[in-house]
Amino acid sequence: MPWVATLAAGAAVLLAGGPVTAVIQGWSWVGYALVAVAVVVGAGLLLARFGPVVTAIGQCVAVLVVLTIFFADGALLGFLPGPAAFGHFGALVAGAGQQIDTSTAPVAATPEILFLTTAAFGLLTVGVYAAAVIARAPAAAGVPLLAVFAVPAALADQLLPWWAMAGAAAGFGLLLVAAGGLHSQLTAGTALVAGAVVVALGVGVITPFIGTAGRFAGGGGGGAAGSIGLTPFTALRGQLEQSTPAELFEVRGLARPTYLRALTLRQYVADRGWEATRPAPGIPLPGPVQQQPDVPGDFVDVDISNIAFRDYWLPLYGEPIDVADLPDTQWLYDAASGTGYTGRPRQEDGWRQRAILPTPSMQQLRAAQGIAGVGLEYLDTTGVDPRVAQIAQEVIGNAGPGFDRVFAIQNWFAGPGTQFTYSLQTAPGSGDDALVEFLTVGKTGYCEQFASAMAVMLRTVGVPARVAIGFTAGTDQGDRRTITTADAHAWVEAWFPGVGWTGFDPTPLTDGRRIDPPYVEEAEAEQESQQSAPVEDVPAPEPQSGDEEAAEPTTPESTQPEAAPSVGSPGIGIPVWPFLAALAAVAVTLVPATLRVRDRRRRLAAVARGGPEAAGAGWEELMAESADRGAECPPSDTVRAAARRLVREHHLESDAQQALRQVIGAVEASWYGGTHPRPGELDEPVRAVAAGIAAGSGLSLRGRLLPRSVVQRVRDRRSAARAGSNRSEAVTSR
């Protein structure tokens, strides 16, 4: 039964794709893979009667249509790829390649990665179908199935879940059994598949060479849940979008809530944003990394237990002094970037850290002016749109150098009366510079947009700045703090000579995760007192003492009277297109069955009307019901011979046989005697015979999806067309 093998081919691909969970974050890819496989399977069921070449071409076209619907803009008629669509596909492939080259597994489920995944599952299903169904060599289908299993297994550095191997074994076994017919091989095949699954599980548990990191994981998680990798903002968003946050760290000994820094970004590239760069040769860890810095702060001895964080980066607090309890020579510390790192992603059980958590005062930061002690790369604004600098100047107004400028920009983003809104659903762009759009029009985003914008604005007003990526303080559990993927965060660090890199957070979080250090609280209190003083002492409007004071109210905050665009409820974040495409695939699969329903209604309507067409329409419907159940009736049979075949093939009961005699009499009278049925006369007998056929012969799934009467009609038309063409050629040759 080819339809059984076709369905088994699709199921085998999906089951073999289990290891993809280890290389792509989240589960959104599953919907795209499911749609791609379903479309290929549906095309195979519909086109199998037209030959292998037509089937394979149709399946590839179906995959292309799915890719166009999901990923291409400006498609012809909404689903046909045009020149622009193919150009967009090329850009997606290039972007996916870049992400793969610069990221560590699991990578974020970006549009580029989802495009690659959808195309891969679709084309792999075409290959498995060709081997198992067209070539009738299901064992050969193991080659593409091995690819869909082994490639993710090789790329994933974490442990594979136990069910990955079991799913692949079950899928391949199902394909082998289904290829020969489920009914004939069900018992033996089930035993074979069960044995293969048991062996696969045993191999995964006892051998050290499955996957690049050893044996299978005992749980179902498939490895570490948190990582930042070499595309930090993409990974950051991926962690924040997880429906169920995963616990990453337990921290003990932290004196006060503070951010846990994993890495810092110093390079800003116009049109691409902040990018991770290679750290400088560092100090080996474990061991001391510096003398106790001469900055005011709290001395802490922190114990970090790692639950599910695997990365190139070693998250550290404040100004590290000593790092302990790490494997020798595996980690390095780059003092310039404040980053602990390694050459290959690792997951340590935990580490201890002595550090200073800087707590400079507002006055100390105000006194620390200039750029002494830091490289000019932290002031680089190459390629930044000049409008960003203009906005920054308007925001700081007449603020003094250094700290006051930093606070003015942070307060513009996150202070009282801000027009900015935090949301993972960023406002759509209109083609202008992305940073300018965020600052002037969109004003909606998450920590990436806020930290990126503030750091660039600080550089334009002469303050060295970089972006830090890591985690907020997490949740206080009494004797410890727990940090999860929901605490992933980005903030800004500004440089102050004699003090060092100092953190500021411009993201307007309202869930309690944002930390305002003492120097920011001092500045906020000072601002409140200055704003209330004129109300108490001078009831008149502010004096116009100079151009700078007069210009202060005309910041972008006041010159943009419109409110931030209403984001509304972001919803669950599940894309709609996969479900629409799935519905489209189901609709395509049901086309033959829909044609059969149409034919049945048309014929029964003719029977009910009576007249010259009634008898013929009723007989055609009964022959179609019989053909759908696999009972072929030769065209040379008379009406009575065909009737005897109906009784024999479908085991008609006596009442159905009596109704069949009425139909035969009406057909012969109409065809040979010119006496046609009256309206409604033949309706009941035809329906009774059809019901008898259905009761005596069940209709298989294939018979429902691909009715033989419809398929045979298409075949007859093709044969007639070829015969006509041959006769024309013969006449022409004469």
Query: CATH code at 377?
Result: 3.10.620.30
Measured CA to CA in angstroms, residue 379 lies from 392, 411, 469 at distances of 14, 21, 19
Region 373-385 average pLDDT: 92
Give the number of other CB atoms < 10 A from CB of residue 98.
Answer: 12
Helix 2-16 / helix 142-155 crossing angle, nearest 10 deg: 10
Region at 630 (left for phi over 0; alpha for psi -120 to 50; beta for the rest): left
SS3 300: strand
Q: Is residue 551 part of a domain?
A: no
Percent of the chain surpassing pLDDT 90: 31
Q: Dmax of the chain from CA atoms? A: 115
Same domain? 51 vs 150 = yes
Beta-sheet pairing, 475-476 with 273-275: unpaired
Tokens 């249509």 -> residue: 65
Query: Where a domain ends, among 180, 201, 227?
Result: 180
Query: Are 55 and 47 contacting, i.e. CB atoms less than 8 angstroms apart?
Result: yes
SS3 404: helix
What pLDDT score does 180 carry? 52
**Residue 522 predicted with pLDDT over 90:** yes
Same domain? 504 vs 633 = no
Separation of CA 451 from chain center: 25
315-359 confidence digits (pLDDT tens): 999 999 999 999 876 899 999 999 999 888 888 999 999 999 998
Query: Are 349 and 314 contacting, i.e. CB atoms less than 8 angstroms apart?
Result: no
Q: Is residue 147 part of a domain?
A: yes
- Under the banding of pLDDT at 50, 70 and 90, the label for residue 137 is confident
Per the DSSP assignment, residues forming a β-bridge with 274 are: 268
Please state, rounded to an integer, the average pLDDT across all residues of the chain. 78
Q: Is residue 175 part of a domain?
A: yes
Which run of H or E residues covers position 336? none
> What's the domain count of the chain?
4
Distance CA 413, CA 406 (A): 11
Distance CA 543, CA 334 (A): 51
Q: Identify the CA nearest to 4 among candidates 131, 194, 177.
A: 177
Same domain? 327 vs 414 = no
Same domain? 629 vs 509 = no
Distance CA 282, CA 331 (A): 9
248-269 residues labelled b (16+ CB within 10 A) or e (exposed): bbbbebbeeebbbbbbbbbbbe
CA torsion sign for 344, 350, 356, 362 is positive
656-704 confidence digits (pLDDT tens): 899 999 999 999 899 888 899 999 899 999 999 998 888 888 776 667 7
Query: Where a domain ends, among 337, 360, 383?
Result: 360
Region 5-20 average pLDDT: 81
Q: How many CA atoms lie within 13 Å of 30's alpha carbon, on the beta-carbon side?
A: 11
Same domain? 19 vs 135 = yes
Distance CA 628, CA 619 (A): 14
- Under the banding of pLDDT at 50, 70 and 90, the label for residue 297 is confident
**Kindly report the CA angle at 171 between 168 and 176, in degrees rounded to 5?**
125
Helix 654-673 / helix 639-650 crossing angle, nearest 10 deg: 160
Same domain? 22 vs 171 = yes
**Residue 58 predicted with pLDDT over 60:** yes
**Residue 231 predicted with pLDDT over 60:** yes
Instruction: Give the structural domain span for 284.
Output: 242-268+278-360
Least confident of 283-287, 360-364, 589-593, 649-653: 589-593
Per the DSSP assignment, residues forming a β-bridge with 247 are: 484
Same domain? 511 vs 620 = no
Q: Is residue 190 part of a domain?
A: no
Number of H helices, E strands in the chain: 25, 20
Distance CA 733, CA 285 (A): 89
Same domain? 344 vs 399 = no
423-478 confidence digits (pLDDT tens): 876 655 555 688 998 999 888 888 999 999 999 999 999 999 999 999 999 999 98
Least confident of 264-278, 541-555, 695-709: 541-555
Give 479: exposed, middle or buried? Use CB within 10 Å, 0-12, 13-18, 19+.
Answer: exposed
Same domain? 370 vs 352 = no
**Residue 233 predicted with pLDDT over 90:** no
The two structure tokens encoding residue 74: 């400006």
Against a cut of 0.75, is the pTM above it? no
What pLDDT score does 493 carry? 96
**What string of DSSP letters covers 637-652?**
--HHHHHHHHHHHHT-
Give 123: exposed, middle or buried? Use CB within 10 Å, 0-12, 13-18, 19+.
Answer: middle
Query: Are 44 and 222 contacting, i.e. CB atoms less than 8 angstroms apart?
Result: no
Identity (one letter) of the amino acid at 508? Answer: P
Same domain? 97 vs 11 = yes
Distance CA 463, CA 393 (A): 12
Q: Is residue 578 part of a domain?
A: no
Q: Is residue 296 part of a domain?
A: yes
Least confident of 304-308, 400-404, 410-414, 695-699: 695-699
Measured CA to CA in angstroms, residue 388 lies from 99, 377, 509 at distances of 28, 18, 23
Q: Is residue 536 part of a domain?
A: no
What pLDDT score does 590 carry? 62
What pLDDT score does 362 carry? 94
Residues 6+ apart with CB under 8 A from 189: 173, 176, 177, 180, 182
Query: Where a domain ends, among 360, 394, 416?
Result: 360
- Under the banding of pLDDT at 50, 70 and 90, the label for residue 18 is confident
What pLDDT score does 208 carry? 40
Q: Is residue 139 part of a domain?
A: yes
Q: What are phi and psi of 269, to 5 degrees?
A: -115, 120
Beta-sheet pairing, 444-445 with 331-334: unpaired
500-521 residues labelled b (16+ CB within 10 A) or e (exposed): bbbbbbbbebeeebbbebebbe
Same domain? 402 vs 463 = yes
What pLDDT score does 721 carry? 66
Same domain? 400 vs 480 = yes
The CA radius of gyration of the chain, in Å to the nearest whole number, is 36
What pLDDT score does 194 carry? 53
Per the DSSP assignment, residues forming a β-bridge with 500 are: 496
